[in-house]
Amino acid sequence: MRVVSLVPSLTEAVARSVPGVLAGATNWCTHPADLDVVRVGGTKNPETDRVLALAPDLVIANEEENREPDLAALREAGVEVLVTEVRDVPQAFRELARVLEACGARGRPRWLDEAETAWSVLPEPGSAMTAVVPVWRRPWMVLGRDTFAGDVLARLGVDHVYARHPERYPRIPVDDLNAAAPDVVVLPDEPYRFTAHDGPEAFPGLPCALVSGRHLTWYGPSLSEAPRLLTRALRAAHR
């Protein structure tokens, strides 16, 4: 089987679980670090001609990360496209199992069982910590309703302020973000690469937690360590 992945999370999951089936992946597919496959452009702008030239049996995609016109073009060319939808942690596990089965995995990989266990044994959250979670600046955009990252945080006892906003990734002026006075500002390093020198200065007086975007937004092998590492980063912001 030959598979092209247009989703970094799924690239890592397939590469680790079904070695050798990946023929292509996006430029943003950074894990595993030694992945040696043809690169086919970005998640939002894949080079469909290059994908087709790889003659894949299956292209794996995601309804949020990839654009429907690109996926439609691949289908019209006769390629099977599997589109995932991931809005919460349980759905991530179901979709990962579906993708791996479609890619020819023989049984469930050990990391998937370990990841499910890591999330199933979490203690019940106590009083929720409030947060705003920017994912972009210029303009400022934050997590809104119905997002995988929002569900990840909720399971760790973090109630992000815009969880009930009508939009999934609303644009909110930075003055309004500060006025919301959250307990913490969560700054991931992707899709926008927030750093200690690019992000916290916009929130004077508010604790800022710099977190790994891979652990906050990816659904794959990183889910095994995500609860521990995200909790550590959140606690560090309040020291």
pLDDT at residue 239, rounded to an integer: 64
Whole-model pTM: value is: 0.93
pLDDT at 237: 86
> Which pLDDT belongs to residue 124?
79
For the chain, residues with pLDDT lower than 50 are: none
DSSP assignment of the chain equals: --EEE--HHHHHHHHHHSTT-EEEE-TT---STT---EE-B-SSSB-HHHHHHT--SEEEEETTTS-HHHHHHHHHTT--EEEE--SSHHHHHHHHHHHHHHTT-SS--HHHHHHHHHHHTPPPP-SPEEEE-EEETTTTEE--SS-HHHHHHHHTTEEETTTT-SSSS-B--HHHHHHT--SEEEEESSSS--BTTBSGGGSTTS-EEEE-HHHHH--SGGGGTHHHHHHHHHHHTT-
